[in-house]
Amino acid sequence: MSALVFVEQDEGLVRKLSLEAVSYASHLDGDTHVVVFGSLGDGQMDLIGKAGAKKVHHVTEEKFAQVDLMAYSSAIAELMTKTGASVLVMAKSSLGDPISARVSVKIGAALVSNISELPENTDGFQVKRSIYTGKALAITEIKGEKSVLTIRKNAVEIKEDGQPAAIEEFSPTVNEGDFKVNITSREKTTGEVLLPEAEIVVSGGRGLKGPENWGMIEELARSLGAATGCSKPVSDMDWRPHREHVGQTGIKVSPSLYVAIGISGAIQHLAGVNSSKYILVINKDADAPFFKAADYGVVGDAFQIVPKLTEAVNAQKG
Ligand SMILES: Cc1cc2nc3c(=O)[nH]c(=O)nc-3n(C[C@H](O)[C@H](O)[C@H](O)COP(=O)(O)OP(=O)(O)OC[C@H]3O[C@@H](n4cnc5c(N)ncnc54)[C@H](O)[C@@H]3O)c2cc1C
């Protein structure tokens, strides 16, 4: 039983969450095929091989250079047939969600989303997915021959010991009618790191007392190359914009590191951050509930600790 992985890229760089999907697939029985659209930067194919891919099907035709959900879905469905793969794996993302749904309909496959752990049996027919905002795991048995799986960010360690993958050009026989959109230009509205995609998030809560104190949060975020977030009351009081509100009723984030400063750790806030790889909590109250969910904790006054932390990060960077 081989698997095909749809790998996302951004300006020639393979996305980390796609390398996690490749590593997930390489734990299943059978060969791991990968499909990637558009040209990649130097060394990027090596990363895909190291993550566990055996063969990369590279779509280089210009018309696929920009993302088109319908065309990509048709091409992936075609490649599922060509490779004989029975499992399609991709990251759970703003691209993975609509493509997984479309391809599963096209190929008549079971769709299981938000997979949060490697399967115990490597034939991949029983998978674990995160439900109830991360509070529970659903052990899901897949019926039928084909399946489409989306993998939650940080669910899998990226392998680095794979062999170089064979690379083969793939020209999908996609209908011109499958191309439904034309992106005429891409303009970034902000130079900031976007919260839902960020690898590091520095978030502040009501403990920061007022909007005038956010300078130190932004400075730490800048030093770490992080996005800024906040708790709900902070955005409700207009200390920060609503797009930064993290939690059950806000943005759900899955960074490698979530830094929570002056946030108590209410269950509704934790629901938005509990798939972070590591959580660092800074709070002056040693009994703040957030410490129970933390990997690292500092008990103390944020106003003293945060500037020192920024200084230390800057010193480390040289
Ligand atoms: C239906 C519903 C949905 C909700 N959805 C969300 C959501 O999506 N996201 C969300 O965040 N909340 C949500 N909430 C609100 C949630 O229950 C909490 O009220 C909120 O998360 C608390 O925000 P906070 O931690 O910033 O403030 P507080 O609870 O006031 O905590 C402030 C913390 O700062 C610490 N502190 C104070 N001074 C300092 C200092 N100098 N240095 C260090 N630490 C200090 C305190 O010890 C305390 O732990 C929701 C609530 C409901 C009812």
Domain boundary residue among 178, 208, 227? Answer: 178
Amino acid at 137: L
Residues 27 and 82 in one domain: yes
Q: Residues 24, 153: one domain?
A: yes
Task: Compute, in angstroms, the gap from residue 154 CA to the centroid of ligand 1.
Answer: 25
Convert the chain into a string of H (helix), E (strand) and C (coil).
Answer: CCEEEEECEECCEECHHHHHHHHHHHCCCCCEEEEEECCCCCCHHHHHHHCCCCEEEEECCHHHCCCCHHHHHHHHHHHHHHHCCCEEEEECCCCHHHHHHHHHHHHCCEEEEEEEECCCCCCCCEEEEEECCCCEEEEEECCCCCEEEEECCCCCCCCCCCCCCEEEECCCCCCHHHCCCCCCCCCCCCCCCCHHHCCEEEEECHHHCCHHHCHHHHHHHHHHCCEEEECHHHHHCCCCCHHHEECCCCECCCCCEEEEECCCCCHHHHCCCCCCCEEEEEECCCCCCHHHHCCEEEECCHHHHHHHHHHHHHHHHC
Looking at residue 246, which CATH number applies to its domain?
Answer: 3.40.50.1220
Nearest CA to ligand 1 atom 41: 301
Contact 111, 148 (CB under 8 A): yes
Q: How far, in Å, is the centroid of ligand 1 from the Cα of 266?
A: 6
Instruction: Report the C-alpha gap between 3 and 276 in whole angstroms.
Output: 27
Average pLDDT, the chain: 93
308 shares a domain with 162: no
- 248 in contact with ligand 1, CB cutoff 6 A: yes
Whole-number Cα distances in Å, 261 to 119, 264, 292, 298? 35, 9, 15, 10
Decide whether any atom of ligand 1 lies within 6 Å of the 264 Cβ. yes
Domain shared by 160 and 249, yes or no: no
pLDDT tens digits along 183-202 = 888 776 666 788 888 899 99
pLDDT confidence bin for 67, thresholds 50/70/90: very high
Question: Is 247 close to ligand 1, i.e. is its CB under 6 Å away?
Answer: yes
- Last residue of some domain: 178, 203, 235? 178
CB-count exposure of residue 232 (10 Å: 0-12, 13-18, 19+): buried
Cβ atoms of 99 and 6 closer than 8 Å? yes
Answer yes or no: is pLDDT of 173 > 90.
yes
284 lines ligand 1 (CB under 6 A): yes
Looking at the structure, tell me whether residues 171 and 207 fall in a common domain: no
Instruction: Tell which atom from ligand 1 comes closest to the C-alpha of 247.
Output: 8
23 plus 105 within the same structural domain:
yes
Shared-domain flag, residues 32 and 174:
yes
Residue 129 and residue 264 in one domain: no
> Containing domain of residue 59, as a range?
3-178
For residue 299, what are its two tokens? 């008990």
Q: Judge whether residue 124 has pLDDT over 70.
A: no
302 lines ligand 1 (CB under 6 A): yes
Cα 42 from Cα 154, distance rounded (Å): 25
Q: Which tokens hold the place of 135?
A: 């509070």
Find out whether the beta carbon of 232 lies less than 6 Å from any atom of ligand 1: yes
CA dihedral of 286, 292, 298, 303, whole degrees rounded to 10: -70
Residue 289, domain member (yes or no) = yes
- For residue 248, the ligand 1 atom closest to its alpha carbon is 8
Residues 200 and 174 in one domain: no
Assess whether 281 and 227 both reside in one domain: yes
Longest dimension (CA), the chain: 61
Cβ atoms 124, 118 nearer than 8 A:
no
> Binning pLDDT at 50, 70 and 90, where does residue 313 land?
very high
285 CB within 6 A, ligand 1: yes
Domain total of the chain: 2
The CB of 86 under 6 Å from ligand 1? The reply is no
Beta carbons within 10 angstroms of residue 83's beta carbon: 17
Tell whether ligand 1 has an atom less than 6 A from the beta carbon of residue 193: no
Whether residue 123 has pLDDT greater than 80:
no
For residue 205, the CA-to-ligand 1 centroid distance in Å is: 6
Q: Is 240 in the pocket of ligand 1 (CB under 6 A)?
A: no
What tokens appear for 202 in the block? 């520095």
204 lines ligand 1 (CB under 6 A): no
Stronger pLDDT, 192 or 304, i.e. the higher one: 304
User: Ligand 1, atom 2: nearest CA belongs to which residue?
Assistant: 268
Tell me whether residue 186 is in a domain: no
CA 233 to ligand 1: nearest atom: 23
Could you give the CA distance from residue 86 to residue 30 in angstroms, rounded to a whole number?
10
pLDDT tens sequence across 207-266: 999 999 999 999 999 999 999 999 999 999 999 999 999 999 999 998 999 999 999 999
Residue 307 has pLDDT above 60, yes or no: yes
